[in-house]
Amino acid sequence: MKLPRTLRLDPSDTFVFAHAADAGEWAVSGSFLFFDCDLDALSPKERAALRAGFLGLSSFGWSTLVVVTPVTPEERACAVESLAQFILDKMGAPSLDVARAAAEDEIAFAVSICDHPEGTVLAVQRGLEDGEIRERFRTLHQRAREKGSDNLHAQARAFTFVESEGDVEEHVDLMGLMKDKAP
């Protein structure tokens, strides 16, 4: 069995999210935190978590990337209990049993997105469509090393073009983002 584990390749998550997950935490999608949310009431960093965050199960912070990792039954059980306690304490579940059932569902979904080889890196694109949260998961793979390149520069390219399946389209309003930062 495999679960996603948070991955931090650089410090960008600490700038993007209000609370970044630590590297190496078990993770779930976290979309349940945005159920019935008012997009207009979300801060820019909360919107970033909605658009592209995985929820770490130790810090309950956000991570842009996760890596598919084997999990022992004991580690899985600890992840369920940690999430259940969070759902009880922070989400107002009526009992630990109800929270545990919800946590089991979230962990089962996390297991289902890990149907990839160990070490596969996953990213999520999430948004509201017709009043419902829709998630798209992508796998990221390291490019093959080019013949004759050294270890430091083997992957150094200014741009990479990636082909996607389906109707994945994202629009970013750069001018709007600049206005959010204006004093």
pTM score, whole prediction: 0.78
| Segment 137-170, tens digit of pLDDT | 999 876 666 666 665 555 555 455 555 555 555 5
pLDDT at site 124: 96
Residue 22, φ and ψ in degrees, nearest 5: -75, 155
Supply the pLDDT for residue 96: 97
* Burial (0-12, 13-18, 19+ Cβ within 10 Å), 120: middle
For the chain, residues with pLDDT lower than 70 are 142-183
Q: How many Å apart are CA 48 and CA 39, to the nearest integer?
A: 11
Q: Which of 135, 140, 144, 138 is nearest to 119 (CA)?
A: 140
pLDDT for 141 = 73
The pair of structure tokens assigned to 131 is 């009043």
Rounded distance, CA 164 to CA 146, Å? 23
pLDDT for res 40? 84
Residue 124 amino acid letter: V
**H/E/C letters for each residue in the chain?**
CEEEEEECCCCHHHHHCCCECCCCCEEECCHHHHCCCCHHHCCHHHHHHHHHCEEECCCCCEECEEEEEECCHHHHHHHHHHHHHHHHHHHCCCCHHHHHHHHHHHHHHHHHCCCCCCCCEEEEEEEEECCEEEEEEEEECCCCCCCCCCCCCCCCCCCCCCCCCCCCCCCCCHHHHHHHHCC
